[in-house]
Structure 1
């Protein structure tokens, strides 16, 4: 197993542990930190193991960070929609 996959598994375990702890801001600061660490990590995994493993790791990360992904999707949808008259 490559070091990038080991790091990705450690990221997944840390994300799950952080999700179990109580938070006053609904875990948003933790989500920002996980995203900042996870994006370069995803690039590393994809570079070392190929695009299919990268997509699997991306799906695992999206399943952990589902609320930021939903809000991003809503934001993109609102920006892409024509302005209402």
Structure 2
């Protein structure tokens, strides 16, 4: 997985890669996922849904915030999929 957050020497993603979600370990995996996302400052993605696209006349700040949320949501979805066993990935 390549990401700007992976350039951080203190990446915690190995926690999730070591103990992939298998279906029987969901509470532990989810707790570790929240720890990793908090460290990467993307935990908000689990708690806040993406709002509709901003209108064309929205400020740059609003558009940038929306774009960041969309991008972070994609990152989180990929992290989640990458840290599941293959059988669960196939069901997605």
- Asked if Structure 1 and Structure 2 have the same fold, meaning a TM-score greater than 0.5 normalized by the shorter chain, the answer is no
Q: TM-score, normalised by structure 1?
A: 0.38
Q: Report the structure, 1 or 2, having the larger helix content.
A: 1
